[in-house]
Amino acid sequence: MAPHAETADRAVDGWYASNSKATPDPLYTVDSPNVVYTDSTIKTKYTYRTTSVTKSANGPYVASPKETVYDFQVDRAVGRVGMMLVGWGGNNGSTVTAGIIANRRGLLWDTREGKQAANYYGSVVMASTMRLGIDSATGNEVNLPIHDMLPMVHPNDLVIGGWDINSMPLDKAMDRAQVLEPTLKELVRAEMALMKPLPSIYYPDFIAANQEDRADNVLDGARACSAHVEKIRQDIRDFKTKHELNKVIVLWTANTERFADIIPGVNDTADNLLKTIKTGHEEVSPSTVFSVACILENAPFINGSPQNTFVPGVIELAEQHRAFIGGDDFKSGQTKMKSALVDFLINAGIKLTSIASYNHLGNNDGKNLSSQKQFRSKEISKSNVVDDMVASNDVLYKKGEHPDHTVVIKYMPAVGDNKRALDEYYAEIFMGGHQTISMFNVCEDSLLASPLIIDLVVVAELMTRISWRAHVDGAADKDYKGFHSVLSILSYMLKAPLTPPGTPVVNSLAKQRAALTNILRACVGLSPESDMTLEHKLF
């Protein structure tokens, strides 16, 4: 994409670049009677194969192969997409905005190590590949960028806006964050100076008291109310209209809130939650208000912080409106390593018995987390990421057995956005032996989180254009419908992935990525990725 400049009058509270095709030419097509391409859609007939397992009282397990036929339909036209960030003026918000501008303009800047070019490293959608198949001539794998598997919005084309409890324009917020190189900041400063966050919701009880001095850009009222819901809805509509958008994706990258209490009659059902918001109950958090506004406005809402934004009433409301939600908490550095390493150890038959995780960081996130109630939210999201992997192996872990797991976070202003993460994994090995793995991970926090914001928005937008129907007794359902309101496909990017009620949570990084890539393959009529490579093993 060629560098270009955007006119200033289009960038007061957002930014748009339109020199990419709405429906780009595909890098591949699928040659199959089960796949039909039209100018507007990709239609696929797909056979989903699983294994159903039953067990009698005293007998063995019985495994039965099961097949279900689905029709998938993908709208090919991406349209114009807006990304609205709650906490736009924070480290993540200012960093991802500057990064998108730099990529859009194809910027180069000087560093101590030489010239640096803008890139989307760290984004699984933009900077990683997945296997398409095997080259029929050479037998080698053919891999394509994930972004090119289906029509997806390009990050360069996102219109960016949002809210913040602090009024600082984005150029000054970028300086305050102390994340980007000074030479890069000067190249994007003019654009960033034109961007100013909309007033946000501030309920002091939900974030640390040390954030009060930042709260100079807030809506009136210190408790949830219908007026706040309607104001956020209006902000989304205004943004959409002003920039002529087809849809808006909203993502929370603001402060970690304390957990809200789940109270019968208050936030346990959709009806109770809506009534509670009208009366201004103290257990309705700002993030829950944002999620309700987005659901009512049919704007997908993603929670990038660890609090329990999605109380039962929110999930029920999303289901009623067939609106998309996803969360919780960006999985960027230490936790991503943990979910990969624990999966490896347990799958290798090594019995992990304790995990000790220590963090210190100096950005505003660390300052907010120095409050015990907010730390507790983060501790929960970091601590549950091994549960499904432990539960999968009853050879190593008997019923109720679980590794000791401790998480510590300390605020150390001097390290800024360069978070230090120290982990010790202690495990039992063969014949009473032990293995200890110690890991020291320096994570440039916002530079890891920003690509995740992009991934979450791009994939969430794609899900708005995919519909499906099942075949029952050989006949297809009459109507297509969308995925479940809870977007579990986003799990790869989130520490505490939200799943539809009654379905298991998957934290294994490999399984999460496979779910993402295999759903993309299903949408174009391809079987799940297989590593059997039988074509190279059989005579």
Indicate which residues carry an active-site annotation: 329, 378, 419, 495
**Secondary structure (H, E, C), 306-341:** CCCCCCHHHHHHHHHHCCCEEECCECCCHHHHHHHH
Please report how the helices 226-242 and 270-279 are oriented relative to each other, as an axis angle in degrees rounded to 10: 100
Q: How far apart are CA 315 and CA 193, in angstroms?
A: 37
How would DSSP label each residue in 357-377? Answer: EEEEE-SHHHHHHTSHHHHHH
Task: Give the residue carrying structure tokens 């999968």.
Answer: 392
Q: How far apart are CA 373 and CA 365, in angstroms?
A: 13
Return the sign of the alpha-carbon dihedral for residues 511, 324, 274, 93: positive
Q: How far apart are CA 518 and CA 500, in angstroms?
A: 19
Three-state SS at 421 = strand
Three-state SS at 518 = helix
Asked whether 222 and 204 are in contact (CB, 8 A), the reply is yes
Three-state SS at 71 = strand
